[in-house]
Amino acid sequence: MSVGRVIRISGPLVVAENMLGALMYEMVEVGEDRLIGEINRIDGDKAYIQVYESTSGLRPGEPVYRTGTPLSVELGPGLLTQIFDGIQRPLPIIAGLTNSIFVKRGVKTSSLPREKKWYFKPRKELVGQKVSEGTIIGEVAETSIITHKVMVPPGIRGTLKSIVSEGEYTIDDVIAEVDGETGRTEVKMYHRWPARFPRPFHEKLEPTEPLITGVRILDTLFPLAKGGTAAIPGPFGSGKTVTLHSLAKWSDANVVVYVGCGERGNEMTEVLEKFPEYTDPWTGKPLMERTILIANTSNMPVAAREASIYVGITMAEYYRDMGYNVLLVADSTSRWAEALREIGGRLGEMPAEEGFPSYLASRIAEFYERAGRVIAKGDPSRVGSVTVVGAVSPPGGDFTEPVVMHTRRFIKVFWALDASLAYSRHYPAINWLMSYSGYIDTVSQWWSEKVGKDWLKLREKAMNILLREDSLREIVRLMGTEGLSEQDKAVLLIAKIIKDGFLKQHAYDKIDAFSAPRKQYLLLKAIINIYQKILEIINAGKATVAIIEEEMQPLFSELIRARYTIPNEQAELIQKLEDKIIDRLAFIAAR
């Protein structure tokens, strides 16, 4: 392939000439340092290249080498527990290679470990049979939690000619051969897939099961389904990252891909340092064993930020194809959109709203559409899912800005973070009036079958109390509580208990951090039952809310504290507490 020549450099944008025949989105290596870049515009023999590393020191006249392939992700065993940069370079290995605490330029290393031997168990019975893309030909225990299914790479079909016997192999070893129409293909434990293209699947299904996160306000009020999409927008300091970390830690996904896109370096370090210490509540194993990290921190090159999201979701789809439920967390999609804006600006594109390129909405749509619950290709038949949660960081907390606005069109769950809740340290600071979930009906069946029949009803009651409280607050703000009816006063009392005892959740408390579905249900049920009892008493005129509040304060405090005093395993204690409170209420009424 011919070698191009750099003629212009402006930050991450490089223009090269003599590039006739170059492909759109082809990967190229720029300059003597062979910096990695991607072609994003072709004009005659000139190619416009966005470079993923700092172009400091690059000169016109330096060579540009073409690779002939688009930006691709290496998929195979060795992805889990690793931390990669935005273009899938393993960061710990880069640190070792360069012996530097900084990320140096032009470092080349393979994404997956080449020397490591994996114990491969083949499906011998397939020899001589027809196989096609996605067919599982064997497996490797990648970590103690995840069995890596080795699949026939996309685009290959034919008769399985041979397969190696059980034993240790590196990913470069040929483990099988497939005879197809165009000849024999060697299959290894890894293959490459272009990051910007969705991986193929057999059929897309509707999500049905909830993704349990252990965060009460999410699971009970605004549930997310496996294979669904959610956005979590909020101003700085409202707890986006803490909430996303909670999802990555406690959700019942099999594999978590965490993309730190233009965010803080220390947040990635926190995941790296803390996750090995936490155990997954669902398997009891260290959390890191199911986690892949992609880190393009805010001070790393902007162009790679744009790529990091695609690299992450490609990995997520790969594990989905094995039949796993994968959660992809992207923090933050705003930084990704800003990278699009910066690159678009340098290309001299016509800007749309707030300088963002006009294709912003379609890029966001393409990204969220890669989520879903699917039947994977190949044999045996299996179902996997990719759930996508994207953080959005709107400037000034303004939800009408373009990234939030367009994201809302393509997601089904909206967890709106609220600065005023955060200021009063009500965490998670998710505003229950602005948030919504499109999966309530979808997941209510699961809840009523597995947890409690009346889940949907309890949820509705709780929402109604919160809505009523909001309108009452307006009145209280204007004239105090004096003018309110006893029924309304009861709403205020219960709303306070719901907020302090159910919605608030301490992300770092040993007991409170993860709330099992059963505990969530019992807690909500207790609160609603108590509310019914109070209504009964005041409707019968046997006591006033003021009297109840005065006398019951210690017991109500106990109920509010239950979220961090009663562990999941002893959730039934909540019922005892509920009985105690109801008895006491009955006693007050009987006086």
- Cα distance between residue 527 and residue 560, in whole Å: 10
Write out the binding residues for other proteins, residues 381-420 only, by CB under 8 A: 393, 395-398
Any contact of residue 248 with other proteins (CB under 8 A)? no
Shortest Cβ 107–other proteins spacing (Å): 10
Per-residue binding letters, 506-525, with other proteins (x by CB under 8 A): x-x-----------------
Q: Could you tell me if 92 and 83 are in contact, meaning their C-beta atoms sit under 8 angstroms apart?
A: yes
Applying CB under 8 A, among 183, 425, 510, 540 the residue interacting with other proteins is: 425
The helix-helix angle for 545-565 and 572-590 (nearest 10°) equals 170
- Cα distance between residue 350 and residue 576, in whole Å: 65
Is the CB of 265 or the CB of 380 nearer to other proteins? 265
- Cα distance between residue 447 and residue 221, in whole Å: 12
Any contact of residue 78 with other proteins (CB under 8 A)? no
Write out the binding residues for other proteins, residues 332-361 only, by CB under 8 A: 335, 338, 341-342, 345, 351, 354-355
Is the CB of 83 or the CB of 458 nearer to other proteins? 83
Any contact of residue 466 with other proteins (CB under 8 A)? no
Any contact of residue 155 with other proteins (CB under 8 A)? no
Applying CB under 8 A, among 59, 181, 183, 590 the residue interacting with other proteins is: 59
Applying CB under 8 A, among 19, 27, 79, 94 the residue interacting with other proteins is: 94
Tell the residue number behind the tokens 């003629």, with chain if given. 7
Q: 291 pairs with which residues across the strands?
A: 256
Shortest Cβ 270–other proteins spacing (Å): 5
Any contact of residue 167 with other proteins (CB under 8 A)? no
Shortest Cβ 59–other proteins spacing (Å): 5
Write out the binding residues for other proteins, residues 291-320 only, by CB under 8 A: 295, 297-300, 302
Is the CB of 258 or the CB of 310 nearer to other proteins? 258
Q: What is the 3-state secondary structure (H, E, C) of 388-443?
A: EEEEECCHHHCCCCHHHHHHHHHCCEECCECHHHHHCCCCCCECCCCCEECCHHHH
Applying CB under 8 A, among 3, 8, 358, 575 the residue interacting with other proteins is: 8
Q: Which stretch binds other proteins (CB under 8 A): 63-71, 129-137, 191-199, 263-271?
A: 263-271
Q: Which stretch binds other proteins (CB under 8 A): 34-42, 95-103, 176-184, 364-372?
A: 95-103
Any contact of residue 362 with other proteins (CB under 8 A)? no
Any contact of residue 92 with other proteins (CB under 8 A)? yes
Cα 361 to Cα 352, 367, 392: the distances in Å are 11, 10, 14
Edge-to-edge, what's the strand order for the sheet holding 130-131? 130-131, 158-163, 174-180, 183-188
Any contact of residue 276 with other proteins (CB under 8 A)? no
Applying CB under 8 A, among 44, 128, 277, 477 the residue interacting with other proteins is: 477
- Cα distance between residue 478 and residue 488, in whole Å: 15
What's the length of the chain? 591
Shortest Cβ 264–other proteins spacing (Å): 7
Shortest Cβ 263–other proteins spacing (Å): 8
Pick the closest to residue 102 from 274, 331, 297, 335 (CA basis): 297
Shortest Cβ 96–other proteins spacing (Å): 9
Shortest Cβ 568–other proteins spacing (Å): 18
Task: State residue 305 phi and psi, 5-degree precision.
Answer: -65, -40
Shortest Cβ 24–other proteins spacing (Å): 23
Tell the residue number behind the tokens 């069995």, with chain if given. 147
Q: Could you tell me if 501 and 562 are in contact, meaning their C-beta atoms sit under 8 angstroms apart?
A: yes
Any contact of residue 108 with other proteins (CB under 8 A)? no
Q: What is the 3-state secondary structure (H, E, C) of 54-93?
A: CCCCCCCCCEEEEEEEECEEEECCCCCCCEECCCCCEHHH
Tokens describing residue 54: 């700092």
